[in-house]
Amino acid sequence: MKPSLNSLVISALFITIGIFLNYNLIQSSYQYKKAKETLAQNLSYKTRFLDKEEWQQIDMPDGNKLNFEESQMSITLPFGSSDVQKKQYEQQNTIIANAQSTINVKSLLVLLAILIYIAAMGGLYWLKKPPLAGLIAVISVSIVCLHAGLFTPMLEIGAIERDLNLGDIPIQKEIMGYTLNVTIEKKFEGDIYFYYQSKSIAELIGLLFKQSNFVVGFCILLFSVCFPIIKTLLMIFFVFKPSIAKEKWFSNFVLNLSKWSMADVFVVAMFLGFLAFENMQAGVHTYSNISIGLYFFLAYCVLSISSSMLAKMPTEACA
Q: Where are the domains of the chain?
A: 5-318
So what's the pLDDT on residue 104?
Answer: 95
Distance CA 9, CA 184 (A): 72
Point out the least confidently predicted range of 22-36, 70-84, 106-120, 128-142: 70-84
So what's the pLDDT on residue 305?
Answer: 80
Question: Percent of the chain having pLDDT more than 90?
Answer: 27
First-last CA distance in the chain? 16
Phi-psi category of residue 177: left, alpha or beta, with phi > 0 → left and psi -120 to 50 → alpha: left
Point out the least confidently predicted range of 120-124, 188-192, 198-202, 275-279: 275-279
Distance CA 145, CA 111 (A): 10
The closest of 195, 184, 191 to 163, measured between CA atoms, is 191
Q: Which residues, including other chains, have CB under 8 Å from residue 308's CB and lie 6 or more apart?
A: 254, 255, 257, 258
pLDDT bracket for residue 319 (50, 70, 90): very low
In DSSP notation, 65-102 reads -EEEETTEEEEEEEE---HHHHHHHHHHHHHHHHHHHH
pLDDT bracket for residue 64 (50, 70, 90): very low
243 vs 214 pLDDT, higher one:
214
Phi, psi angle pair for 65, to nearest 5°: -110, 5
Residue 101 clears pLDDT 90, i.e. is over it: yes
CB atoms within 10 A of CB 271: 13
